[in-house]
């Protein structure tokens, strides 16, 4: 049976005024908030736990469990911080959510803050996307004017202030503790954990940090219930996902579907590969997860199935590349990214990304040496697990994954450049079909 | 142009949004950049003064984040995504075309001050590759020819509409939006066919059963 598409967060995106309070309310918006404010905060945490919602930012940590780590009755202020710093190469679903349906995020922010007893929430949006910043700010402003944010929200006695915060161009700030440092007005560099943010986060107070899509799920779960939510997806990966399919497919775009849909099904929805093209490699969710090939197209896109296949669901934004792409070039480009974005705090990551990139660039130019394939393996091994945060691990991921499936391309790159092996023009989306 | 008294007062306004004033530093630096088209010594000193921290502390932050520029940017910031998806799907050719058309290179401004070029990292729009940005507003699905045409129109002072965003203003206006996001442009078109791709199919094939 073909897995159907199930638009929930994306259901009304074709309504031109969905971004306004009236537009969102017209499709049932803020009903979840009404239910939430009438219940015990602990019950909301339990609901989200029972729903089994897992973080949509990449790690897939159970959201309700994360919330329950916040100590209650501790006398300290609590904070909710939304991670809207979507910068992972390949990830392009939070920005669309914020531009199309910002009130789903805001409603989620209010409910979540109520549940964890936070009176202050921050939405940290990457500065490079001003159009998301202004949309979210507008939604906050409208919600404030309607009394959904502010003092004594709807007579509940609950106070909440929401601040929309612009970043300034640093991928590392998507790492939750670097984000906190950045939000405190410092360089965005990760902190050592523990203590975890749930205990000592923003201003050393208990803090929940959740991804945009995670929070945008909350109103729907609270409004429609655990059973409804678990009607989608699998036991370990319940719910639906805003998949963003990019690359050499006929119709790249946003496809919201239950977790457990296969890549082949998503590919079909996306119109299949462009003419004369076939899948060479694909990544389920960002450049930080190991690549897969066409032999993996029938695996369900769940946290557990992707882990079993040696990769991760990550951000759930599959990038699909066809036979025109040099895997050596693709991997080199990703490493150039990690090198640029390494914050410099940890030596293995700061120096390692520099050295890996240098050696990979030799391969890209056809000047790699046989022995340097082992050098690269060693370098990746020296970084993985040896840095404060996952950026180092991520940087150590693309090369070993590529070697697993495409060793011969690295072999060929000891004498022939990537551009000679693969005409770059053939991979352009605007290339004539005859070129490939 | 030095930081105006008005901007100084606005920095205090930004600082008042946060439980701890220093949290305002990033948006304050955006405001400083919107005033002077770069992060200048004056901008750094003003931020330091408003927050009661040292200029060295502000400098340490300003030099960490890619969006803050120490050299004047000029009228428009032009970004071309050269990360793997955009670059390999044509962004590399777009970059070459933009360089040829302007004579500028990475992180430099054209002599007439019109364009600052930057090879940018992933812009969270891979479904719309190759992506260019003008003053950080989306120019989705560009080709070398369409990118150069956008630059030509900007140079002629014509109105240029972002694909998902407002009519292009200039770099300083965007930097101001990042400090004060309530800029009156929230009605800018922001949803396109690619964002509706799955919804369209679902509408054509409604499902039956408990999830419907």
ipTM over 0.95: yes
Closest Cα partner for A362 from A332, A335, A338, A341? A332
DSSP string, B52-110: T--HHHHHHHHTTSTT--SS---SEEEEEE-SHHHIIIIIHHHHHHHHHHH---TTEE-
How many CB atoms within 10 Å of residue B51?
21
Q: Could you tell me whether strands A253-258 and A79-84 are parallel, antiparallel, or unpaired per DSSP bridges? A: unpaired
Predicted confidence (pLDDT) per residue in A38-58, tens digit: 999 999 999 999 999 999 999
Q: How confident is the model at residue B206 (pLDDT cuts 50, 70, 90)?
A: confident
Beta strands in A199-311 (DSSP E): 207-211, 240-247, 253-258, 279-283
CB contacts under 8 A, B 10-39 vs A, are: 17-20, 22-27, 29-30
Length of chain B measured in residues: 212
- Is A370 a residue whose pLDDT tops 90? yes
**A17: CB partners within 8 A, 6+ apart:** A23, A26
pLDDT digits over B110-129, tens only? 999 999 999 999 999 999 99
Q: B83 and A133: CB-CB below 8 Å? A: no
Domains and CATH numbers, chain B: 5-64 (1.10.10), 76-179 (3.40.30.10)
Report the chain A residue with the minimal C-alpha distance to residue B77: A128
d(CA B92, CA B27): 32
Tell which residue, B178, B195, B105, B87, has the closest CA to residue A128: B178
What sign for the dihedral angle of Cα A350, A354, A356, A357? positive
Tens digits of residue pLDDT in A320-336: 999 999 999 999 999 99
CA distance A54 to chain B (A): 20
What's the pTM? 0.97
B210/A contact by beta carbon, under 8 A: yes
Q: Predicted confidence band at B189 (pLDDT cuts at 50, 70, 90)?
A: very high
Residues from chain B contacting residue A187 (CB–CB below 8 Å): 60-61, 64
**Which pLDDT band, with edges at 50, 70 and 90, does A432 fall under?**
confident
Q: Considering only CB atoms, which chain B residues are within 8 Å of A128?
A: 67, 79, 120, 123, 133, 136
Q: Coil, helix or strand for A428? A: coil
Asked whether the beta carbons of A275 and A287 are under 8 A apart, the reply is no
């Amino acid at each position: 049976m073909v897995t159907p598409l199930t638009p929930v967060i994306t259901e009304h995106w074709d309504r031109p005024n969905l971004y306004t309070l009236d537009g969102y309310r017209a499709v049932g918006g803020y009903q979840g908030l009404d239910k939430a404010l009438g219940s015990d905060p602990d019950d909301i945490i339990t609901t989200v736990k029972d729903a089994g919602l897992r973080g949509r930012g990449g790690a897939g940590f159970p959201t309700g469990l994360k919330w329950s780590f916040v100590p209650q009755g501790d006398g300290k202020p609590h904070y909710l911080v939304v991670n809207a710093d979507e910068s992972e190469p390949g990830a392009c679903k939070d920005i669309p959510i914020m531009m199309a349906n910002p009130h789903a995020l805001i409603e989620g922010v209010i409910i979540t803050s109520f549940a964890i007893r936070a009176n202050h929430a921050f939405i940290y949006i990457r500065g490079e996307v001003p159009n998301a910043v202004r949309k979210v700010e507008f939604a906050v402003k409208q919600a404030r004017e309607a009394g959904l944010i502010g003092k004594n929200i709807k007579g509940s006695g609950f106070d909440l202030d929401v601040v929309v915060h612009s970043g300034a161009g640093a991928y590392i700030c998507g790492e939750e503790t670097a984000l906190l440092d950045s939000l405190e007005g410092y360089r965005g560099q990760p902190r050592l954990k523990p203590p975890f943010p749930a205990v000592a986060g923003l201003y050393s107070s208990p803090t929940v940090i959740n991804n945009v899509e995670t929070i945008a799920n909350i109103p729907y779960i609270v409004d429609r219930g655990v059973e409804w939510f678990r009607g989608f997806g699998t036991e370990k990966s319940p719910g639906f996902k805003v998949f963003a399919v990019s690359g050499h497919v006929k119709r790249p775009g946003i496809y919201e579907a239950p977790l457990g849909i296969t890549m082949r099904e998503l590919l079909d929805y996306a119109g299949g590969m462009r003419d004369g093209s076939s899948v060479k490699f694909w990544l389920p969710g960002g450049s930080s997860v190991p690549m897969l090939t066409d032999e993996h197209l029938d695996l369900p896109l769940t946290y557990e199935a992707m882990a079993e296949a040696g990769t991760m669901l990550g951000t759930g934004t599959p990038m699909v590349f066809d036979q025109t792409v040099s895997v050596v070039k693709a991997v080199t480009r990703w490493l150039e990214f990690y090198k640029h974005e390494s914050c410099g705090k940890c030596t293995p990551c700061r120096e390692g990304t520099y050295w890996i990139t240098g050696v990979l660039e030799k391969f890209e130019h056809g000047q790699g040496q046989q022995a340097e394939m082992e050098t690269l393996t060693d370098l990746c091994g020296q970084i993985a697990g040896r840095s404060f945060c996952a950026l180092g691990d991520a940087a150590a991921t693309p090369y070993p994954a590529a070697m697993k499936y495409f060793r011969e391309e690295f072999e060929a790159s000891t004498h022939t450049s990537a551009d000679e092996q693969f005409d770059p023009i053939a991979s352009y989306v605007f290339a004539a079909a005859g070129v490939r | 142009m030095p930081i105006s008294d008005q901007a100084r007062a606005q920095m205090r306004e930004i600082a008042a949004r946060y439980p701890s004033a220093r949290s305002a530093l990033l948006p304050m630096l955006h405001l400083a950049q919107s005033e002077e088209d770069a992060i200048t010594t004056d901008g750094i000193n003003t931020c330091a003064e408003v927050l009661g921290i040292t200029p060295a502390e502000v400098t340490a932050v300003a030099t960490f984040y890619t969006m803050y520029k120490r050299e004047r940017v000029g009228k428009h910031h032009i970004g071309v995504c050269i990360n793997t998806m955009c670059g390999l799907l044509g962004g590399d050719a777009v970059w070459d075309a933009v360089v040829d058309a302007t004579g500028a290179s990475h992180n430099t401004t054209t002599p007439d001050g019109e364009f600052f070029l930057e090879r940018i990292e992933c812009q969270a729009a891979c479904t719309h590759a190759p992506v260019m940005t003008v003053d950080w507003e989306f120019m989705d699905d560009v080709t070398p020819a369409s990118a150069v045409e956008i630059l030509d129109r900007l140079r002629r002072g014509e109105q240029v509409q972002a694909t998902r965003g407002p009519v292009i203003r200039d770099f300083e206006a965007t930097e101001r939006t990042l400090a004060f996001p309530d800029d009156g442009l929230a009605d800018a078109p922001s949803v396109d066919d690619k964002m509706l791709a799955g919804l369209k199919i679902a509408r054509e094939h409604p499902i039956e059963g408990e999830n419907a």
